[in-house]
A = this chain, B = another copy of it.
Amino acid sequence: MARLNTFFLPPEQWPANEGEVVRLSGPEARHMGTILRTEKAQTVRLFDGQGREGLFTVRDIAKHRADLEAVKLAEHPDPEDGLTLAIGWGKSKRRDYLLEKVVELQGNGVIFWQAKRSQGALPDDPKATWNEKFVQAAKQCGAVRLPNLETVPGGVEGLLAMAGAFDHCYLAWEAEEANTPLSPDMLSKGRTLVVIGPEGGFDQAEADKLLQAGFAPVTLGPSILRWETAAVYCLSLAMFGAQDRS
């Protein structure tokens, strides 16, 4: 059987019970009706990005809306483990690409932070387009949960304030102080935060603050990695670590 098409339904619209009918509207409905030409009585898959997914039967469909009856609903609990990446902000053509990879590689979240050597100004709030990128990537790869997305102003102090939400905090450090390779094991237990510097690297003072706050320095290997390569490397190790555990 061919894989079902998946559509995003905002969490606030999610049905409480099987048998309920929801109305999909906007671009997702247009995608379903006009582009994919979905028909009455067909089955589609919906997800809300917060762990809920389900199979729905099309009861009625028009150009800009679709009425869908929930046939089978499932809910996946919040993960207790997983990797969040804190990435030093920079102007980059590769940001959209990285956001897609975070979804595909099952990252828990992305935090953009303003580093001393960051080029360009960090937006105050995550842009709607970034979340849209998450949604599209999740539709493609079957993810049930959209990664968390935050921007943290206030430089490294802003990051330090968030550290308490994590069980383990690491600093991806390209210097002699980091002898320990980051491993899948380190990323497989609990909520983990890995901080990646901006393209220009960490400022020594920034790194010192993180180290003094208990962020463990780790190396990502002998190669000099671009920021987005460092990110997918960490995400890949974490995704393997999760499989190894189960």
Question: Measured between C-beta atoms, what is the minimum distance from A230 to chain B in Å?
Answer: 9
Q: Does the CB pair A239–B224 fall under 8 Å?
A: no
The 6 closest A-B pairs by CB, nearest first: A236-B236, A141-B224, A181-B243, A233-B236, A104-B229, A232-B232
Stoichiometry (number of copies): 2
Chain B residues contacting A97 (CB-CB under 8 Å) are 97
Cβ contact within 8 Å between B237 and A240: yes
Which residues from B are CB-within-8-Å of A196? none
Known: A105-B229, A221-B239, A236-B237. 7 other contacts (CB 8 A): A106-B221, A106-B222, A181-B244, A223-B239, A232-B233, A237-B237, A237-B240
- Judge whether B239 and A142 touch: CB under 8 Å: no
Contact A225 B141, CB 8 Å, known A232-B232, A233-B239, A237-B240: yes
Taking a contact as CB atoms under 8 Å apart, the answer to whether A225 and B181 are in contact is no
Whether, in the assembled complex, A140 has its beta carbon less than 8 Å from a beta carbon of chain B, the answer is yes
Interface residues in A86-106 by Cβ distance below 8 A to B read 97, 100-101, 104-106
Is A143 at the interface (CB under 8 A from chain B)?
yes
Known: A105-B229, A105-B233, A223-B104. A240 touches B184 (CB 8 A): yes
Residues 192 to 246 of chain A near chain B (Cβ within 8 Å)? 221-226, 229, 232-233, 236-237, 239-240, 242-244
Set of chain B residues within 8 Å of A181, measured between Cβ atoms: 240, 243-244
- Interface presence of A119 (CB below 8 A): no
Q: Is A38 positioned at the interface, with any CB of B under 8 Å from its CB?
A: no
A169 to chain B, nearest CB (A): 20
Q: How far is the CA of A100 from the CA of B229 in the complex (A)?
A: 10
The docked-state distance in angstroms from the alpha carbon of A225 to that of B100 is 10
Q: Which residues of B contact A224 (CB under 8 A)?
A: 104, 140-142
Q: Mark A150-187, 1 if CB is under 8 A from B, else 0.
A: 00000000000000000000000000000001111000
Q: A243 to B184, alpha carbons, bound, how many Å?
A: 12
